[in-house]
Amino acid sequence: MSQFATIKGLVTYRPGDGAPIEIPEGRVEVDLAPDSATLSWEAAAGIPGVTAIPRTQFDDYVREGKITMNKE
């Protein structure tokens, strides 16, 4: 089930072996699985962004306050 969160700090993902890409601050949709978190956001007007990151990395971002889960 999807939840919403807010990016409040430097949160990045790495596409394959490429350089880290920053997810912009703001609201994201989060789908959690035991081993990963899928994040969706609006990268630019009308252009969606989506990535999956390891669950451990997501949990670190939450613990560090870079991602705050919304209570909706």
Contact between 10 and 20 under an 8 Å Cβ cutoff? The reply is no
58: Cα within 13 Å, side-chain hemisphere? 20
Tokens of 41: 């956001």
Tell me the domain boundaries of the chain. Answer: 3-69
In this predicted structure, what is the pLDDT of residue 71? 84
Instruction: In whole angstroms, give the CA distance from residue 5 to residue 20.
Output: 21
In this predicted structure, what is the pLDDT of residue 8? 97
Percentage of the chain with pLDDT > 90? 83
The predicted model gives 58-63 an average pLDDT of: 98
